[in-house]
Amino acid sequence: MYPENIIAKFQEQFSKQASLVVRAPGRINLIGEHTDYNDGFVLPAAIDKAIYFAIAPRQDDTCNVYAYDLESSDSFSISDIQKSTNSWANYLIGVVDEIQKAGQTIKGFDLVFGGDIPLGAGVSSSAAVETGLAFALNEIYVLGLATMQMVKIGKAAENNFVGVNCGIMDQFASMFGKKDAVIRLDCRSLDYQHFPLSLPNHTIILCNSGVKHSLGDSEYNTRRLECEEGLRILGGIYPAVKSFRDLTLTMVENAKDSLSENVYKRCVYVVGEIDRVVVACEALEQNDLATFGKKMYETHDGLQHNYAVSCEELDFLVDETREDSAVVGSRMMGGGFGGCTVNIVEKSNAAAFLQRIKRAYQSKYQKDLVTYEVALTNGTEAL
């Protein structure tokens, strides 16, 4: 299994030993959804599903890269950065491009990477690829990059080279994760704080709806525009308001007549969600898992009704948990319109929970429900 097969494949592919092996984890986000691009808080954690990298430096400008899980290889030169026809390679090329743009000098490398992050489940395999390579190059070429610099390089690679307008949360969680902890990231200042979430009697289970509705990307951009419009109108009414952080629900309510129905609902959701993260973190400090779970349900309800990014399958999965005393909290996770729900479940009842929800999903949608049990783990590291 990983990472042994990555190391073995490297030796087979390049007839030499890897000089470094790196583990870059995927991430979940427990609460704080669609707040990252609205100057809010998010509460992600790194998980024990990861991408592994076996790498060795070269003396020339050539980069030979092999994607283990896709059984696909690519080569490019650091002195002639071009987009690859292999879409997976562009995440790596983008990182090399951003490192050089940051004024760092590197040479080529040989690389094999792969792992057990489930694709399409919304746990951020792309960010793990970016942070893992940035970390590996920082190590083998002794670049002296700070962790936050590597996070920004990963995000910039995805924004500028891959062309995905993501926020900073995914790369941040992959780098700054800590075992048995979540990270509250302030997306306005990039200040962060770890909060304990050790779960001796509970486990975190992801239920993958197996759907990815195609309207996700266009609707995501629409939501961003609706939030910008809401902020512009509210800023006109309240001159001190520069961001959603400066608003209260009362202020939004008082300005309701100035906002279209959709924009009003989006603003209610964002202001409420920023507050929910703060309350959820206070609950963690008190070891109050019940309140934390209640906030997860409130987030789902907001995403379903006010932000309108859920879908029938996700709502079904969450509704199936509401009467189950073994479930502390459940909500859809990620951009929406498909992907996973995240559930905190009592360990002693986890098997029964899985059996019941899989049967219910099969019965309703004639589709097997794929689930993943995950634990909170450290961020990107050399093995």
* Separation of alpha carbons 2 and 128, rounded Å: 15
Cis? peptide before 3, omega within 30° of 0: yes
- Residue 54 near residue 9 (C-beta atoms within 8 A): yes
Asked if 35 and 187 touch (Cβ cutoff 8 Å), the reply is yes
Residue found by looking up tokens 């800023």 in the block: 235
Measured between alpha carbons, how far is 320 from 8 in angstroms, rounded to an integer? 43
Compute φ and ψ for 269, nearest 5 degrees.
-60, -50
What is the three-class DSSP state of 321? coil
| Identity of the residue numbered 19 | S
CA-based R_g, the chain, Å: 21
Contacts of 173 (CB under 8 A, 6+ apart): 27, 29, 44, 45, 46, 124, 127, 183, 185, 379
Q: Which of 39, 74, 97, 170 is catalytic?
A: 170
Q: Which of 202, 94, 78, 112 is nearest to 152 (CA)?
A: 94
Among 166, 106, 168, 109, smallest CA distance to 138 is for: 106
DSSP character string of 295-308: HHHHHHHHHHHTS-
Query: How many angstroms from the chain centroid is the CA of residue 195?
Result: 18
- Taking the chain, what is the end-to-end CA distance rounded to the nearest angstrom? 15
Residue 357 CA to residue 369 CA, distance in Å, equals 8
Structural tokens at position 218 = 């266009």
23 bridge partner residues: 52, 381
Is 170 an active-site residue?
yes
Catalytic positions: 170
